[in-house]
Amino acid sequence: MPNSTICLTFDFDAMSVWFGYSTVTPAMLYRGEYGANVGVPRVLDLLRRYDLRATFFIPGHTIDSFPEVVATVLEAGHEVAHHSYAHVDPSQQTPDEERRDMERALTSLEQVGVKPLGFRSPSADFSSATLGLLEEYGFQYDSSLMADDFRPYHPRLGDQVTQQTPLVKGRPARLWELPMSFEFDDWVHFQFNFNPYRNGTSAPSKVLEIWTADLDWMHTHLDGGILTVAMHPQVIGRGHRIAMLEQFIQHGLRHSNVRFERMGDVAQRLG
């Protein structure tokens, strides 16, 4: 049977995710606080019961706002990785702003004893400077891009392509891309919002069907495939959704030759 890997990842954004909206209200920020006070403990309890290790992408703002909660993530043996300082889309920053943001988040991570191996963009998007910064600061992997679904690859720096000119490929980056996809992002399926309107009321059974079907396909057709699931404690932490996540974990464990790994461990194994 093929060997397959599942990476359970959690974007622990807390309040910072809401700062990207044009109007930020106290009610929105309390939704973020739910992720810290309710969602993370539920996630950690579930992972503990199955003795699984996961990767938490945590903005510096969350680290500075909820250090005690971040400490519980680290004490449980989970990986903590870089997720910007305050969940700002790098494609909307100048190169100087992006560098300052990256360094400020690195300072927050350093204060909790973390030198991150990995990065995930808050928007699953890059600026033209992002990959170069990730190389410069020594990251071993990124998990923001979608040029593949189950196979790690090296993203490229310096691609040249426009609507009028075909692709001229740049050089491969020194770091790995461990790809994600929006189908495996709980925010897309579950997060309700008034303005801009997002329905976010998918039934867990629908999402479980998507996640398990892709896992089964990967396990049947690819040897060494890696499935990345991106979740947010303030979203997946609701009772009916944490129950769905448990069903997904159980489904993975029923397969032979399927392992759950932290993303940093995957990147180090790839070399």
Model confidence pLDDT, tens digit, residues 8-66: 999 999 999 989 888 889 988 999 999 999 999 999 999 999 999 999 999 999 999 99
pLDDT at 2: 64
- Which of 207, 31, 187 shows the shortest CA–CA distance to 120? 187
Q: DSSP assignment of 81-149, as one string?
A: EE--SS---GGGS-HHHHHHHHHHHHHHHHHTT---SEE--TTS---TTHHHHHHHTT-SEE----S-S
On whether the CB atoms of residues 126 and 91 are closer than 8 A, the answer is yes
According to DSSP, the residues that pair with 8 across neighbouring strands are 229
Question: Does pLDDT of 1 surpass 60?
Answer: no
Positive/negative CA dihedral, 222, 253, 227, 241: positive
Asked if 79 and 57 touch (Cβ cutoff 8 Å), the reply is: no
Q: For residue 156, what are its two tokens? A: 């490229």
Q: Domains of the chain, with CATH numbers?
A: 4-112+181-270 (3.20.20.370)
Residue 149's pLDDT band, with cuts at 50, 70 and 90, is very high
Can you read off the two tokens belonging to residue 14? 């807390």
In contact, 80 and 114? CB cutoff 8 Å: yes
Residue 130 to residue 82: CA distance in whole angstroms: 13
Sequence letter at residue 107? T
What is the mean pLDDT of the segment spanning 122-149?
96
